[in-house]
Amino acid sequence: MRNRIALFLLFVAALVLVPAAFAGEGDMGGRLEAEQGGQTVVLPVLKTEIEADIQGDLATVTVTQTFANPSDEPVHARYLFPLDPVAAVFEMVMEVGGERIRAQIQEVKQAERTFAKAKSEGRAAALLKEHRPNLFTQDIANLMPGLPITTRLRYVQAVPKVDGEYELVVPLVVGPRFQPPHAGRPPAGGVQEHDDLPPVAGSWEVEQLPKYPPAFGVNLPAAIEPERVALSARIDGGVVVQGVASRTHSLDVQALSERVRTVKLAAGRVIDNRDFVLRYRLAGAATDAGVLAYRDARGGFFSLLIEPPLVPAEADVTPREMVFLLDCSGSMAGLPIDASKAFMVQALVKLRPTDTFRIIRFSDSATEFSEFPLPATRQNIARGLAYVESLDGEGGTMMSSGIEQALAPPTPAGSVRIVTFLTDGYIGNELEILSLIKRRLDGARLYAFGVGTGVNRYLLDEIGRAGRGFTRYMDPTENVAEVAAELTQRLQSPVLTDIEVDWGGLAPAQLHPAEIPDLFAGGSVRVQGRYARPGLYNITVKGLVHGREARLPLTVKLPEHSADGEAVALVWARAAIREAMGELATPNGMAEPPAFSAVKQRVTDLGLAFSLVTKWTAFVAVSEQVYNANPSATRTLPVPLPMVKGTQPGAYPNQAPFTGAAGPEPATWLGLGVLGLLGFWTLRRYAPVNAGAGR
């Protein structure tokens, strides 16, 4: 009888104590202890919910971040995270305890002072700052044990058309950044950028790039909590929605109607170690051009979407000098370099007989396969393939040396130079690279191919723009041969060149981009602008198709007032900010102080007028209630990140000396201890009975 009672108690303990003990881990990821400066610390944990509401080709995305403190002491938390480079972040709300606080947009220095004051007073606070157009930090003050703090961000963006399908990218992971040794040292008589976007000289403000947080598998245990992110989307196409899919994640897709689809992750929640990419098609949508417009007290805004016409195959083929520039730095080791090799196999065997080619690899320095461009003969291609196969990923990322090597020599007479650049973009001196491309391009076209699961999309997109080409991305965890074959098909002449718009009587203002790029098959380009007078206008889009003039007449209706559609204004403002920031990288190097000051003022004014996070405007939220009685003794700790899927620990060579181990919550140990005691007592009581029975 006593044995039955003991076994029953053991069963009850297993049912009650263990689930209760592990409930905290299931909800917020448990407890991660690490060593910092000889002391044991418990790092903050985070879970993220992302919801995308897509209307045609405009998306409003809500990002909910819930921070929790599994230790028994207050902490301040810092989270480094990515967003899409074109995301217009226009709202933030913080929730803590019973409070719900709408964040205020302020100039970044003022926002930092507001946050610091709240932090020193023991109030809960959140500060959202942009460090790159695709790199943000969320600082949380006075995160108390057992009292999570939730921030809810909202942003809008246009969904670009890529290779015939609309593509929404939700970045989920920040890769490492290589900072060249010379960065931050102003050259004689010039201006050099420091560790962040603003160029610096003399007494200019200098803001360091946030220190990369500890990473699972690098300086923390590899056993990351597997359910950090949930993601869902609703697509309302306005027309029939087709082909909803993702190459990066398994999806559960439901059709609410022909025009509406809902999407969620098939796994429910996932590790945030790779970017999420969603693609869809809209049947029956306009294939040439379309206009969205919005007007409020700030004025009128419009967005013109241009897509290329269907044209026959090009009859006259211009000889090309095909330059392949391969990033062979340490962050490319493993899957990324293997994917680059697969791409090169496809690209080399598809060279035209009239082409010549060069192959350049760079890491700490740049070296070239041949001394001069080689004709695309069968023998030369075989030699090139053998050279590519011998490459590996190691060393730093001296990207400028590779670009100089690719663009400095004169282009062969009668040829057009096409540079295909394969990289993950893991550098910190973006402006220097963009300035170099503008200075050296000289009629060439530069196609940027991002290789990786969490690449630097800001840099890659800007390289495609500055290089008058395009940008595509290759996930090395996919079927790389299939993806490489698709991408190499895009290495062709543009479909529509020399695009301009005859605006008739519309008289638009502040158009972005100022210079319309060429259009490629399956792509699109969006022109943003402002209008003063509502009404009907006739405009004409003009361009050249294989050297022959093409025209597209359109009738545009611009409203007097708008009840909805503010996303059009926000997308315009973000495009204006992007254009302004691009002015910092000039062909002659970094912008001089007067030009820099003018850009800073313009961007700040746009951020304040449209309530957008920019380089010089930030969101800050402060609680009414004081939560921490001793804020001055509270340390600031990072939220750890996963290692980018497909990379290796060697890609993170200069990480902070964090060490530690993941472990259960204290309640878990209590539950296990109770179970152990009950089990020991049961065995003690049970053993004599068995012994007696045996005798």
One-letter amino acid at 531 equals Y
Which pLDDT does position 188 carry in this prediction? 33
- pLDDT of 290 over the 90 cut: no
The predicted structure's pLDDT at residue 514: 87
Q: How many residues does the chain have?
A: 695
Number of H helices, E strands in the chain: 11, 41
pLDDT at 679: 45
pLDDT of residue 436: 93
Place of tokens 């940008």: 471
Say whether pLDDT at 531 is over 90.
yes
Tell me, what amino acid is at 669?
W
CA nearest to 310, candidates 164, 445, 446: 164
pLDDT band for position 544 (cuts 50, 70, 90): confident
Nearest to 202 by CA among 191, 215, 217, 218: 191
Give the per-residue pLDDT at 63: 98
Range in 28-42, 302-316, 450-464, 672-686 the model is least confident about: 672-686
Chain segment 109-161, per-residue pLDDT in tens: 999 999 999 999 999 999 999 998 999 999 999 999 999 999 999 999 999 98
Residue 290 is inside which H or E element, if any? strand 289-296
Q: What is the pLDDT at residue 429?
A: 87
**Cβ(68)–Cβ(144) below 8 Å:** no
- Residue 673's pLDDT is what? 46
Could you give the C-alpha distances from 115 to 135, 136, 140, 235, 620, in angstroms and in order? 20, 16, 9, 37, 7
Average pLDDT, the chain: 84
* Predicted pLDDT at 182: 59
The C-alpha atoms of residue 324 and residue 327 are separated, in whole angstroms, by 10
Q: What are 546-563's pLDDT values in tens digits?
A: 778 888 898 999 999 887
Question: In the sheet that 659-663 helps form, which strands lie side by side, from edge to edge?
Answer: 39-42, 31-36, 659-663
Amino acid 522: pLDDT: 78
- The pLDDT-based confidence of 222 (bands split at 50, 70, 90) is confident
Percent with pLDDT over 70 in the chain:
82
In this prediction, residues 166-195 reach a mean pLDDT of: 66
Closest CA to 463 of 434, 491, 441, 439: 434
Closest CA to 144 of 69, 214, 221, 216: 69
Q: What is the β-pairing status of strands 289-296 and 299-306?
A: antiparallel
Per the model's pLDDT, the better-predicted residue between 379 and 672 turns out to be 379
Predicted confidence (pLDDT) at residue 690 exceeds the cutoff of 90: no
pLDDT of residue 127: 98
Per residue in 457-494, pLDDT tens?
Answer: 999 999 999 998 889 998 988 887 887 777 777 776 67
Query: What is the three-class DSSP state of 539?
Result: strand
Q: Taking residues 260-281, what's their average pLDDT?
A: 95
pLDDT in tens, 420-435: 999 999 988 898 999 9
Query: What mean pLDDT do residues 238-260 have?
Result: 94
- Residue 310: predicted pLDDT: 64
Kindly state the tokens that stand for 60: 């409003």
> 684 is written with which tokens?
């003690």
Q: What pLDDT is stored for residue 268 in this prediction? A: 94
Q: Is the pLDDT of residue 687 over 50?
A: no
Which pLDDT tens digit goes with each residue over 37-86?
Answer: 677 788 899 999 999 999 989 999 999 999 999 999 999 999 999 999 99
Q: What digits encode the pLDDT tens for the residues 498-515?
A: 899 999 999 999 999 988
User: For residue 684, what pLDDT is reported?
Assistant: 44
Higher pLDDT pick, 457 / 655: 457
pLDDT band at 691 (very low <50, low <70, confident <90, very high): very low
Q: Which residue has the tokens 């503008």?
A: 438
With 70 as the cut, is the pLDDT of residue 670 above it? no
Instruction: Indicate if the pLDDT at residue 184 is higher than 60.
Output: no
Who wins on pLDDT, 277 or 31? 277
CB contact at 8 A, 635 and 71: no
Mean pLDDT of 609-624: 98
Q: Predicted confidence band at 288 (pLDDT cuts at 50, 70, 90)?
A: low
pLDDT digits (tens, 9 = 90+) for 9-40: 444 444 433 333 333 333 454 667 777 767 77
